[in-house]
Structure 1
């Protein structure tokens, strides 16, 4: 059975993936581990350290799986290709090789947001959640769904959230992805407000009528796309025809 590992983005824990649950095929094993520091999981001593992150996530990201990283989760998963055994495939959802882009979220905009987080972490996180929902076909309904999944309290310590913004500001996976040891797929909503047009054009697959959070607006379509990718990377034993 193919295992799909779902990795959430900044400010959201693994509950963000629950809308996909009714649409997974029976032959997929779905895991959604939280990052260190989220949902009661112990934070890293140095939340910015990729070495510490790799050690903490080693059991959650085995090689014989397909990794799916959404937003910051995709950025971190791409960086961890250098630190962990190679997965069957990596899926980047709503993220390119970098987060910041002059025609998307600029360095200046992210710096302003980092200052807002310092002033009021709860208000800044709420602003970010609404910001990333701006491209969904019904942002208000998407926000209601999000609120049903996640509570209003911070999902991680301020230090963990600040480290995540540091990664969004500084991580650049261009060289890692150009020399990736496994197939890499890029998925994006056609209305993603956080992606520059250039990055959106580079996506291998695009989800119509979806923004940055297709798990909220298009859960069935997203689950189908991810399941199809996973099926392409099932083991030889799983693909073999049964013999009599």
Structure 2
């Protein structure tokens, strides 16, 4: 049995993973804990403290599991590798890298503008972001309807937690942690991810064609299969070799 822990990104709680529920192959066990401040989970007293986050998440991040971090969830998972007592069996980064801002992707200036807009109108900016991140999906409007159906009636994320998340996107750099990781690490990316630089997409270990930043909404079956394959490689202790080339996940579309 291979265990996966699914970690969501900025502005979305664990319900974002529900489209994958019936898509997992045999032998895969999945949990999807919320970060503090999301869903019904109380926010941290100090939402921007990584040590407090590591302590709060420790029971949900077992060492015998492979962590799957999507977007900010991937950046946080990589940052927590150095803050947990025992490393996981592997880390899969989905739509994420060692840093969020990139000269060819989302610039520091653009993120600073976004943070200022969030400070003025958090609910409107969150709604805008949820729609904008779907631009790379083959049917963005349909993907947005699915996202609304999943998240629309639930509790909104804690505002201070969201603000802390934007701070992490601006400041966190997991380059050192990922240069010599304590476990196998693989990267997955949607071919049309609007939040990633094309260089980061090209360097991913698995590229999902006809998908953007949210393949759990547009290609849940293919995403589940890709995650399961890489998780089993992690569980077997297989890390990415320097000469490995990215693999494209073909789509029938």
TM-score bucket (shorter structure): over 0.9
**2:3: which partner in 1?**
3
Q: CA RMSD in A?
A: 1.3
Moved more, 15-24 or 153-162: 153-162
1:77 aligns to what SS in structure 2?
A: helix
**1:165: which partner in 2?**
166
Cα distance between partner residues in 2 of 1:154 and 1:120: 18
Give TM-score, length-normalised by structure 1.
0.94
**2:81: which partner in 1?**
81
Contact 1:8/1:14, CA 8 A, preserved across alignment: yes
In structure 1, the gaps of 5 or more residues are 237-244
Q: Does 1:47 align with 2:78?
A: no
TM alignment of 1:92-103, pairs within 5 A: 92-103=93-104
Contact 1:11/1:154, CA 8 A, preserved across alignment: no
> How has the CA–CA distance of structure 1 residues 83 and 29 changed in structure 2, closer, same or farther, with 3 Å as cutoff?
same
Deviations 1:183-240 (A, max 9, x none): 100000000011011111211110000000000011000000011122224479xxxx
Deviations 1:118-160 (A, max 9, x none): 1111100011111110000110000001011001676321100
**2:19: which partner in 1?**
19
Q: Does 1:56 align with 2:56?
A: yes
Q: Does 1:228 align with 2:248?
A: no
> How has the CA–CA distance of structure 1 residues 162 and 152 changed in structure 2, closer, same or farther, with 3 Å as cutoff?
farther
Cα distance between partner residues in 1 of 2:110 and 2:173: 18
Number of residue equivalences: 236
Cα distance between partner residues in 2 of 1:134 and 1:128: 10
Give TM-score, length-normalised by structure 2.
0.90
> How has the CA–CA distance of structure 1 residues 39 and 154 changed in structure 2, closer, same or farther, with 3 Å as cutoff?
closer
4+ aligned runs moved over 6 Å, structure 1 = none
Cα distance between partner residues in 2 of 1:41 and 1:116: 26
Cα distance between partner residues in 2 of 1:230 and 1:97: 19
